[in-house]
Structure 1
Amino acid sequence: MSDRSERGPLWLPLLWLLVVAVLGWHQWQFWQSPRLDSDVFALLPQDEQQPAAQRAMKQLAEQGERRVVVMLGGADWERVRQAAQRFDHALQAQQAGLQPVQDVVPSDQVMSFYAPWRDVLLTDAQRAFLPLADASALAAQALGRLHGFSTGQPTTWQADPLGLWSSWWAERGGLTAARPRDGLLWVKESGAGREWAVLLYETQGSAFRFDGQRRWADALVHAESAARGDLGAGLTVLAAGVPLHAEAGAAQGNQEMNTIGWGSLLAVIALVLATFRAAGPMLLIAVSLVIGCAAGLSATVLVFGQVHLLTLVFGASLVGVAEDFGIHYFASRLGTPDQPRWALMRHLLPGLLLALATSVLGYLVLAVVPFPGLRQMALFSAVGLTAAFATAVCWFPWLDRGQLQDGRFAQSIASSLGHWPVLTRARLWIALVILAIVCAVGLARLQVNDDLRQLQSSPPALMRAQMAVGRLLQMPSPAQFFLVQGRTEDEVLSREEALKQALTSWQAQAPQPGGPIGVSAVSDWVPSRQRQDDNHALTQARETAVLQAVGSVVGEDLRRPAFATQALTVSQWLASPASSGLRAQWLGAQDEGFASVVLIRGLSQQTQAQALRELAPTLAGVQWVDRPNDISELMGRFRVTMTWLLGLGHGLVLLTLYLRFGRAAWRAWLPCALGSLVCVAVLGLLGEPFQLFNLLALMLLLGMGVDYGIFLLEHPGEQQAHAWLAVLLGAISTGLSFGLLALSSTPALRAFGLTLLIGLTLVCLLAPTMRLIHQTDKTERGNS
C-alpha cells in the first residue's frame, strides 16, 4: 500500500476537502438567519401567462402575512368585553411578540376626505329612486329633516338636504361585519345570539424559528386561560392568521425533519455497525450523509434564495439513499479484503456512476414539473446525492484504515442469496400471470385525486378556527376573486361596476345555494368618472329644486354649497386614510393597462364558484381566478403528462442498461418495472387515492430501484453475494427512510413515502429472482 498508484492521487481528496470547507462556511452563515418558507402556494407553479393574477395573489397574501385575529364570543357582551381585556393584558404580559394593532381609522378622517365629493356618491338604490321621485315629496322629506335635524348626521343639512350621504355610508358599513363598540371591534352573530369581541395583533419577528417551539400559539393558549375566568365553557376563543399557520408549519417541519432525518441516520448506523462491526465504516458513511444534506441545502438556497420546509423534510429522506455508495464500497471490501483501496474504488466506479446517473435522473425528472417546491426537492436531492457520491469516491480510499470483520450478520445476509430462487423462463411467465391478475384487481379499484388540499398540513383545529373567523367577519377569500383589467384606471372602475351589476342580476334570478354573496371592490369607494358625472348631474338637479322649494316655505334663499369640480381619482384615494385595508385590491399599472381585484364574500358552494367562472367571460376585461381549482386541474394535467414521461424514462433507462449489459439488461430493469406496476395496484387495493405525487415517487423509484439490478449484474459469480449484501442493506435503509416519510402530516409527502416504501420492497424482492447465475454470464453478457 506504499505504492503511490495504490494510494491514488492526493489532490482529489484535498480538492474535495476545500469544497466541504466552503459548504461548512455557507451552512454557518445560513443557520444564523435561515431563510425558510412554509407557504403552501410557494410550492405551486407560477403561471407566466397570468402575471396580473400572480401579482394579485402576492399582494393579497402580503396584506395579512403578519396579522393575527383573535375573537372572543359569548352570550353577554359585558362579560365578553371583560374577557377580551383580560386576554389582551395576559398576552402582553408574556411578551411573546404579538403587538396590538390600532387598525381602525377614525371615521371623521375618512368623512373629511370624502366631503368634497359628497354629491357624486350615490348607492344603486338612490340612483334608481331619485329620477322617479315626486318633487313635492322630496321637498316635504327635506323640510321634515330640517325641523328634526340631528347633530349625528355626517354633514350639514344644506349640504345634504335629502340625507343621501347617510345611506351611502350605511351601505359602505355593510361591507364589513365588525363595528366599533366600547373601544373594541364588535360582531353580532346573527341567529346564534352570540356577541364577539375582535382583537387584532401583528407579529414581531419571524415565524420560522426552526426550533420546534410554538411561541405564539402557546402564548394565545395561556391568554385564553386567563381570559376565561368565571365564564368557563360560556366563552369561545378563536385565533386565526397566516403567522399561526407558518409557525405551526415550522414546528411540524422541525419535528418531521428530526424524526425522518435522525431516524434514518440511526437506522443506517445500526445496520452498518451490525454488518461491518467497526466504527470506521459507520463514521465515514455518516460523514458522507451529512455532507450530502449540507450540499443539497446550500445549492437550494443559492439557486432559489430560500428553502421550503417541505424541501427540508423531503431532503431528510436523502439519508436513506445516499448511504448506498458507502455500503457498496464496504460490502465489496468484505468480499475482497486483500485488494488495495484505490484499485477497489476504480473497479466499483463504473457501477457506482451508473447507479448515481439513474438516481439523479429520477430526481431531476421532478424538475420537469413547473412546481417550485418540487424543483427545490429535485435540486436538493440531486446535489446531495452527488456530494455523498463524491465524498465516498474521494475520501473513503484514503480514510479507510484497518481490517473489516465479516461477522455472522453480514455472512447470513450474503449467503441468503444462494437460497433465493432464480426465475427460469417457465417460472417467469407464471409469475407474470399472477402479477397481472393482482394488477388488474388493484388498478380497477384505483381512485384518482388531484385536490390541492393534499398539500395542506396545518392542524385541523387551526383550520376550523380560520374558517370560523372568516365566516364571522365575512372575510373574502384571497384565493378566489375576479381580476378586472382595462386600458385606463377609469375603464377598470367602469368594468368593476358592470361586474357588480351582473352579479346583482345573477343573484336576483334565483336563490343561490349557500346564501347570498357579497363583493368588495375599489369602485365601491371610487366610482368611475362616468358614474360620478351622472351622480353629480342627478344630485345637482334634484337638490337644487328641493332647496328652492324649502326656501320658499321658510322664506330664505337656500343655495347648495360648492363641491369639488374635479372627479375623485384612485391616486387620491390611495393616498388617503380611506383606502386603509383595501389598497391590496388595486394592482395599478400592468404591462398593458391597469388592473384591480374584486373580492367575493360568502362563497360557500362549489356550484357558486362554477357559476362565477361562467359569468366572467360574458364581461369585458373580467377574469375569474380560482387558485385552488386551477392548481387542482393543473395537477391533473401534469399527472397525465408524467405518466407518459415515466414510460419514456423506463425506455431510456432500459436503453442505457443495454449499452452496459447487452441482452442481460432486462434483468436489471424488469424488477423495477414490475415493482412500479404492482405498487400502483397495491395502492388501489389499500384504498389510497392516486395523485401526481404517487407518480413522481414512481419516477424516483425508477432511478433508485434499478440500482439493485445494476449492482447484482456488475458482480456476477462469487462477488454477487457481497453485492447482494450491499443491495439488501441499501434497500432496508432506504425503505426505513421513506417509510418514515410516510408518517409526515402532509398528505403529499405521506403519499410519496408510502409509494416508495411499497415500491422499493417489491423491487428488492424481485431483483434477486432475475439475477445472472454464473453459468450464464458469458452467454447473456456477450453483447455488452
Structure 2
Amino acid sequence: WVFRQVSSILLASLTVLSALAGGATAMVFVFNSIHLLTLVFAVTLIGIAIDYAFHAMTDLAYGNSFYQSSGLSKGTKTALLLSFITTGLGYSCLLGAPISLLSQVAVFVIAGLASAWLFTLIILPIWQSKLVLSERSLIKSQQLLGLMVRFNRCKQSVLLVLGLVLMFLFYLKPISFNNDVRLLNASPQQLILNEQKHLTLMGQLDAHIVFLFASNAEQLLQKQERLIDDLKRINPHLKHNAIKRWLPSKRTQKNNLALFDGAVKNDVLIITEKYTGIKVESANTELLSYDALSNSHFSALLNAQMFVEPNKAVTWFSVSGISTHALTSSVNAYEDAFIYNKPEQISSLLENYSQYLLLTLGVAIVICFVLFSYKFGLRIGTVQVITLSASLLTMLWVCNAAQGSISIFNLLGGLLIIGLAIDYLVFYQINNLTAVNVLAISLSAASSMCVFGMLAFSNTPAIFSFGLTVMVGILAVYILSPLSVLKSQKE
C-alpha cells in the first residue's frame, strides 16, 4: 500500500530473515539446547528488525522521489545506530537472568538486530531505484502529520492532565505483582482437576517434601525421628513415608530391644506363647545399619530416599495431614532442615528478579535522560523522558487492570517498550515531524502491534502478558511520542 512494489515486501522479508539467521547462528554457538519458549519470545525480533527496513525504505524512496539523493540520509543512519545501541543495551539486561530462556532471548535478539542493522545499511541502498512512495500514502501521512502538529502544540496541558489522571488511577487501583511459576504454562482445567483428584485419592493433596542433612547416617536418622515425633504431637494421625519406619536409628533399635527383653522377662508375651506354641526368647540380634541395608536387596529403595558419603548424609520424606504453617515452624527449629517446594522457590526467584527488572527500568530511564540531554540538550531530554515515563506508566496500569496483577513478563515487555520508544523518540527528534517520518513510524507501530498482538491471543499466561504489554505500550508510545518533538537548541 505504501510502496506499491513487490520489491518492498521482498526487502522487508529479507531484513527479517537476516535477523533470524543472525540470531539462530548465535544461539547455535552459545547454547547447547534451546528452550521452546525462547522461540516464542524471539518473535519480538521480527517486530523490531522490520522497523529498520521500514525506516530505511521510506527514507530511500523519499530521497529517490524528491531529492535524487543516493543512499540513506545522515539522520536516518544516526537514528538507526542509536536505536540499535539502545535496544541492544536493553536486552543485554536479560543476559544475567535466573531463567535460561530469558538469556537465550537476549542473545537471539541482540545478534539478530546486529544482522538486521548491517543488512539495512549495506543491502537496502542497492535497491533504492526500485523504491517509490505511493501518492495516497503520502497524503494520508500528511493528514496524520497535521493532527500530530496540533497535538504537539498543547503538549504541556496534555502531559499535565495525563500525569494527574495516572496518579488518580494508581491511587484507585495500585499495582500488584504475581510471579507464580505456573504462569509459564497453560494446563487445561480438566487436567488440573484430574491431578487434584489423583493426589486426593493417593492422600498426597496436602503433601510436603522435607529434606534433612547431617554429618553421618546415625545422626540423620535420630534427627528424622525427633522431627517426626514433633509433628505427631501436632497431629497423631499424620502420614509420612520417612525411612525411619524400616531403618530406625541404632539408639531406637537398642531401646526397642530393651523393651522386648523386659517384656520377655516379665512374662508379658506368655499369651503369645500359649496361642502360637512357640517360646519367645530374648535374642542377641545385631543392629541393623545403613551399610548392611545398602548391601542388601533393599539397596535401590534405600538409595532412593537416603544418601550417605563421608562427613555428609541426606534424606527426604513426604508428610501430609499437617498445615503448612505448623510444618514450617517445626522444620525451622532444626538445623540443616528445609521444606522442598520447587514451584515456590522458583516463584520467589522470579519475585526477586522482578525487583531487579524494576530497578533496571528505572536505571534505563536515567540513562536515556543522560543520552538525550547530551545529544539534544537538557530541555529536549527532559520532555522525552517525561513522555517515555508516561507511556510506561500507562502501559503498566492498563495491564494491571486487565490482568488483575502484573508479572515478570509484563516488566520484560516494559524493557522492550523502552527500546521501541527510544526508536520513535530518536527518529522524531532527528528527522522532525515530517510526512515521511510519520509514515515510517506509523508503519513500524502497525507492524509491531500486529506481531505482538498475536501473542496476546495465547492461552499461556506468560506469553499473553508479554504480548498485551508490548501491544498496549506501543500504542501509548505511538500516541505520546509526537509530544517530545521540540526545536533543537543544539546542533
Same fold (TM over 0.5): yes
1:502 Cα offset (Å): 0.9
Question: How far apart, CA to CA, are the structure 2 residues paired with 1:485 and 1:553?
Answer: 46
- Structure 2 matches for 1:97-136, cutoff 5 A? none
Q: Look up the match of 2:168.
A: 441
Task: Give 1:517 shift.
Answer: 4.2
Alpha-carbon spacing, 1:523–1:657, altered in 2? closer, same or farther (3 Å)? same
Q: How does 1:612-627 map to 2 (within 5 A)?
A: 612-627=327-342
Deviation at 1:714, TM superposition (A): 2.0
Q: Quote the residue 1:747 is aligned against.
A: 461
Kindly tell me: are residues 765 and 586 of structure 1, through their superposed partners in 2, closer, same or farther at Cα, counting changes over 3 Å? same
Does the aligned pair in 1 maintain the 2:240–2:318 contact within 8 Å?
yes
2:306 corresponds to which of 557, 578, 586 = 586
Q: CA deviation at 1:713?
A: 1.8
Aligned-partner residue type, residue 444 of structure 2: G
Q: Which amino acid aligns with 1:599?
A: S
**2:253·2:287 contact (CA, 8 Å) conserved in 1?**
no
Distance 2:295 2:137 in 1: 73
Change in 2 beyond 3 A, CA 1:464/1:587: farther
Question: Match of 1:593, as an amino acid?
Answer: K
1:523 paired with 2:244, answer yes
The equivalences for 1:247-646 within 5 A come to 274-300=1-27, 302-337=29-64, 338-341=68-71, 344=72, 348-398=76-126, 400=127, 402-422=129-149, 427-444=154-171, 445-452=173-180, 453-475=182-204, 480-508=208-236, 517-543=238-264, 558=279, 560=281, 565-569=286-290, 572-573=293-294, 576-577=297-298, 579-580=300-301, 583-589=303-309, 593-601=312-320, 608-646=323-361
d(CA) in 1 for partners of 2:417, 2:148: 23
Distance 1:448 1:392 in 2: 41
Gaps of 5+ in 1: 1-273, 509-515
Identity %: 23
- Give the drift of 1:415: 1.7
CA 1:713/1:505 → structure 2, altered by over 3 Å: closer, same or farther?
Answer: same
TM-score by length of 2: 0.87
Distance 2:454 2:406 in 1: 20
Aligned counterparts of 1:571 and 1:416: Cα–Cα separation in 2: 88
Contact 1:481 1:625 in 2 (8 A): yes
| Structure 1 match to 2:427 | 711
Shift of 1:551: 11
Contact 1:297 1:380 in 2 (8 A): yes
Structure-2 separation of matches of 1:575 and 1:292: 60
Measure how far apart 1:675 and its partner are: 0.8
Q: Cα–Cα, structure 1 residues 550 and 740, in superposed 2: closer, same or farther, change >3 Å?
A: closer
Say whether the 8 Å CA contact 2:214–2:314 is kept in structure 1: yes
More helix by percentage: 2
Superposition deviation, residue 487 in structure 1 = 0.8
Name the SS of the counterpart of 1:421 in structure 2: helix
Alpha-carbon shift at residue 701 of structure 1 (Å): 1.0
**C-alpha separation between the residues in 1 aligned to 2:206 and 2:22?**
39
Distance 1:281 1:289 in 2: 12
Partner letter of residue 730 of structure 1? S
CA distance in 1, matches of 2:398, 2:269: 86
Corresponding letter in the other structure for 2:305: Q
Look up the equivalent residue of 2:242 and give its one-letter code: A
Cα distance in 2 between the residues matched to 1:506 and 1:548? 32
* Bigger relative contact order (CA 8 A; separation at least 6): 2
Deviates more, 1:670-679 or 1:422-431: 422-431
1:682 equivalent to 2:398? Answer yes
For the Cα contact (< 8 Å) 1:362–1:704, is it kept in 2? no
The corresponding residue for 1:662 is 377
Q: CA deviation at 1:596?
A: 1.7
Partner of residue 438 from structure 2, selected from 701, 705, 724: 724
Q: How many correspondences in the alignment?
A: 484
CA 1:586–1:281 in 2, change beyond 3 Å: closer, same or farther?
farther
Counterpart for residue 735 of structure 1: 449
Could you tell me how far apart the structure 1 residues matched to 2:98 and 2:274 are? 74
Q: Is the contact made by 1:495 and 1:620 (CA closer than 8 Å) also made in structure 2?
A: no
C-alpha contact 2:94 2:102 (8 A) present in aligned 1? yes
Closer/same/farther in 2, CA of residues 448 and 557 from structure 1, 3 Å limit: closer
Structure 2 residues not aligned, in runs of 5+:
none
**Distance (Å, rounded) in 1 between the aligned partners of 2:254 and 2:114:** 68
Task: Name the amino acid aligned to 1:765.
Answer: I
Query: Aligned pair in 2 of structure 1 residues 752, 562: CA closer, same or farther (>3 Å)?
Result: same
- Please state whether the residue corresponding to 1:422 is helix, strand or coil: helix
**Residue 468 of structure 1 aligns to which amino acid in structure 2?**
K
Q: Which is worse superposed, 481-490 or 677-686?
A: 677-686
Letter in 2 for 1:597: W
Contact 2:42 2:109 in 1 (8 A): yes
Deviation at 1:626, TM superposition (A): 3.2
Q: Is the 8 A contact 1:441 1:681 kept in 2?
A: no
Q: Secondary structure at the match of 2:149?
A: coil
* Bigger-Rg structure (1/2): 1
Q: Helix, strand or coil for the counterpart of 2:56?
A: helix
Whether the 8 Å contact between 1:547 and 1:559 is mirrored in structure 2 is no
Instruction: Return closer, same or farther for 1:730/1:601 CA change in 2, 3 Å cut-off.
Output: same
In structure 2, relative to structure 1, the CA distance for the partners of 1:564 and 1:311 (3 Å cut) is farther
Letter in 2 for 1:389: W
CA contact (8 A) 1:520 1:598 kept: yes
The amino acid of 1:378's aligned partner reads A
Instruction: Give 1:698's aligned residue.
Output: 414
Contact preservation (8 Å) 2:57, 2:124: no
Contact 1:455 1:746 in 2 (8 A): yes
653-662 or 292-301, which deviates more: 292-301
Q: Secondary structure at the match of 2:154?
A: helix
Contact 2:179 2:347 in 1 (8 A): yes
Q: CA–CA distance in 2 between the matches of 1:438 and 1:571?
A: 74
* Aligned residues of 1:492 and 1:594 also touching (Cα < 8 A): yes
Distance 1:336 1:602, change over 3 A: farther
What is the alpha-carbon distance in structure 2 between the residues aligned to residue 536 and residue 345 of structure 1? Answer: 94
Q: How far 1:734 sits from its partner (Å)?
A: 0.8
Shift of 1:708: 0.4
Which whole-Å deviations, capped at 9, do the CAs of 1:525-572 have from their partners, x for residues lacking one? 322222223223333453577599589979x99475967625231673
**Secondary structure of 1:365's match?**
helix
The 10-residue stretch of structure 1 (436-445 or 751-760) with the greater mean CA deviation from structure 2: 436-445
Mapped partners of 1:350, 1:662: distance in 2 = 17
**Aligned equivalents of 1:610 and 1:537: distance in 2?**
37
The one-letter code sitting in structure 1 at the alignment partner of 2:354 is: R
For the structure 1 residues 536 and 738, does the alpha-carbon distance in structure 2 shift closer, same or farther, using more than 3 Å as the test? Answer: same
